[in-house]
Structure 1
Amino acid sequence: MTEQEVLEAVRGLIPAIRERAAEAEEARRIPDSTVKELAEAGFFRLLQPKRYGGVEADPVTFYTAVKEIAAACGSTGWIASVLGVHPWQLGLFPVQAQEDVWGETPNARISSSYAPTGKITPVEGGFRVSGRWSFSSGCDHADWVFLGGLITGPDGAPVDMRTFLLPRSDYRIDDVWNVIGLSGTGSNDIVVEDAFVPEHRTLSFSLTSACDCPGNEVNTAALYRLPFAAVFSTTISTPIVGMAQGALDAYVKHTKQRISVSYGNKVAEDPHAQVRIATASSEIDAAWALMERNISELLRHAEAGQELPFELRLRTRRDQVLATQRCIKAVDMLFESAGGRALAHGNAIQRGWRDAHAGRVHAVNDPERALTMYGKGLLGFPVADNMI
């Protein structure tokens, strides 16, 4: 399938995904049928290397699909984005790690939890890994997991931060996900008890930041020379743009039918409501347009074999974190004027509001950190951060 054929196939699933949104919330995980349909549509192969049956799509195509899924169901959009980006990251790992996962199971899925909360002990040939990692979205639908971990020197100080790749047999899932937003993502805890991870199933964040990874030896497409920070942060913000768009669509539909209890007039005729719709839609469009522009520019530089401009990398993080802020502003503006009926369980406006705010608290959406980096860079100060 071409990337456009995959996108059209995903669009054909949107009505059913929207219908299952309440089911996902109640079950606290995405229905198996939705994951199966997305897989059959080719969605999870969009960013997978061609040598393992993937599409190697333009990342904007991937993010477009995510945005449209998230507009129908925020939790499904979040899971689609996170599980869908991991084939791209695996493509950066040593070839043996890719073979371990895709050699016999090209459809294998990977969840993640990058905060380095576990214990990593270097041993001959690799590492012993133990601990608990939280917020592994979609882990119930995954066969492997990426876990973040710090490697320390003899004095106990960190000397490297890596991603460790573990199969499902090496960890258990603790069902702890009971939350008010993105409640259908099943973002449960991963628990590892003294598992061995061979060296080839690890990848340093310093390499992903340098855009020079072992997997580039075989996966030579420009897609795999993009910075992890740009790809992953956009992976987190894009579903929030979709959630805001879904809330806006629901608000417009709701407003067309709404009669003001206080004034007895049609709310659609209220100029204040019209202004809110215009302003919210502009914030959402701006969020998407800037992220799309930045990812496309990064890809063009990579396709030309050029070094990625540092200012562009900083700008990508700036616009990503502000995209989330713009969408939070939009959903707040809509929700606060949607009226009491928007509070009802199952109402898409309140669900979009809750889901967007839940996505906002992800660590990559920390505005002060990202914006400080951009300001420092333009003022000529050195900026050293793995998330650029």
Structure 2
Amino acid sequence: MTDHEATGLLEAADAVAKLAGERAAEAEAARRLPEDVVAAILDAGFARHFVPRRHGGHEAAFTELRRALATVGESCASASWCALIVATSGRMAAYLPAEGQAEVWREGPDAAISAALVPSGTAEETPGGWRLSGEWHFLSGVDFSDWALLCAPAPDGPRFFAVPRGDYRIRNTWFTLGMRGTGSNTVVADGVLVPRHRAVAQGAVFRGHSEHSAAPCHQTPLAAVAGALFAAPALGSATAMLRAWTAQLTAKGPGLTPPAELELARSSAELDAALLLTERATAIADLGRVAPATAARNARDASLAAQLVRAAAARLFESGGSQVQRDDSDLQRHWRDVQSATSHAALRFERTSGPYAQSLGAG
């Protein structure tokens, strides 16, 4: 398989989307994905998408993943988000030392990993490793995780620590407006001993230049691709909103009113523009070793795409009338999910605009 050969993920995503859509209400009520949806995500190959081939993974393309995430997002943004997390957390684990990678994937390449990007807690250096303690918030899909990648301050800079499921506790803290099914709960570690081979510097992960793999997906800085992937579930969700909104209006009779035509044209154009921006970002990221200025532009584009998606979703929801505000309305669920998904730090334009300007020497 070449670096950009399809893995079958897109075809498998259709089946995941169908099941996740059928179980979306259950996921919302439970605030976590049903077990059969989790199994479908893993069976489809999301977790192994970026896993090194020597561990049975695909080392595959960002573009293929983004398209698969958007497909699942059209049915359930929470399922799409959890698929995103297991895929990208697997990519991060690929920067661990070789012995650590072997531990994480000793049972195969479909280990479910949930990562916390923001440093928290404490890491006390001990002979042979670190002793890790603290709390880490908003780990999506952590209830079905086999491993957690927890970031903590260390004397030489923040590090990611790979911790097996038996060494951490989960606190049920995920009560939110949208993305309820992601189960983004809190992880607690109490003096967990992490050997040196299960830790990697945060900077190495962010720079994206692996010592273990020459695959483009392991030679790409995080800033070049994170935003485009995080935008995919919301883009899928807003696309479903547009389709449902249009069907709802056309069911009332032939043709649309001039105001509705305007809303349709503007919303569809915004979603098309968001798609084009994220498509360019992942196409560039698939080349590997993206220059810092290009990585900053990709991050800028993804955050602008998120703004466009959010604007389209808000317009469709506000013009949908009273019936879209019902608890059983898919439009209402998708709107809430878009609001929550696009609030992620990687998709905030005020955070990406500065690095972009600085990359041009204008900051």
Compute the RMSD of aligned alpha carbons.
1.8
Aligned counterpart for 1:48 among listed residues 51, 63, 69: 51
Cα pair 1:139 1:187 within 8 Å, conserved: yes
Q: Conserved in 2, the CA contact under 8 Å of 1:47 and 1:55? A: yes
Contact kept? 2:122, 2:134, Cα under 8 Å: yes
Instruction: Give the match for residue 278 of structure 2.
Output: 291
What is the CA-CA distance between 1:298 and the residue it aligns to?
2.9
SS in 1 for 2:286: helix
Structure 1 partner of 2:322: 340
- Determine whether 1:180 maps to 2:169: no
Q: 2:206 aligns with which of 191, 200, 209?
A: 209
Counterpart-to-counterpart distance in 2, 1:211 and 1:19:
37
Matched letter for residue 225 of structure 1: Q
Q: Which has the larger radius of gyration?
A: 1
3-state SS, counterpart of residue 45 of structure 1: coil
In structure 1, distance between residues paired with 2:207 and 2:239: 34
**Displacement of 1:220 after TM fit?**
2.1
Structure 1 Cα separation of the partners of residues 81 and 170 of structure 2: 19
AA matched with 2:58: V
Distance in 2 between residues matched to 1:289 and 1:192, nearest whole Å:
41
- Deviation by residue 1:120-143 (Cα, 9 ceiling, x = unmatched): 212222111101111111001110
Taking the aligned partners of 2:134 and 2:337, their CA distance within structure 1 comes to 28
Equivalent position SS for 1:192: strand
Q: Any stretches of 5+ residues in structure 1 without a counterpart?
A: 153-158, 259-265, 382-388
Once the two structures are aligned, what percentage of the paired residues are identical?
33
Instruction: Read off the aligned partner of 1:109 and give its amino acid letter.
Output: A
TM-score by length of 1: 0.88
Q: Structure 1 CA distance, aligned partners of 2:60 and 2:255?
A: 41
CA contact under 8 A between 2:170 and 2:187: conserved in structure 1?
A: yes
After TM superposition, give the deviation of residue 380 of structure 1 in Å. Answer: 4.4
Matches within 5 A, 1:233-252: 233-252=227-246
2:269 pairs with one of 274, 279, 282: 282
CA distance in 2, matches of 1:229, 1:348: 32
Q: Secondary structure at the match of 1:181?
A: coil
Give 1:267 shift.
8.6
Using the TM superposition, give the Cα deviation of residue 4 of structure 1 relative to its aligned residue in structure 2, in angstroms. 4.8
Shift of 1:235: 2.8
The answer to whether the aligner puts 1:9 opposite 2:6 as a matched pair is no
Conserved? CA contact 2:171–2:187, under 8 Å: yes
Q: 1:257 aligns to what?
A: 251
Q: Pick closer, same or farther for the CA change 1:210–1:42 going to 2, 3 Å.
A: closer
- What stretches of structure 2 of length at least 5 have no aligned partner? none
- The amino acid across from 2:228 in the alignment is T
Number of aligned residues = 360
TM-score where L is the length of structure 2: 0.94
* Number of the residue aligned with 2:111: 108
51-60 or 93-102, larger mean C-alpha shift:
51-60
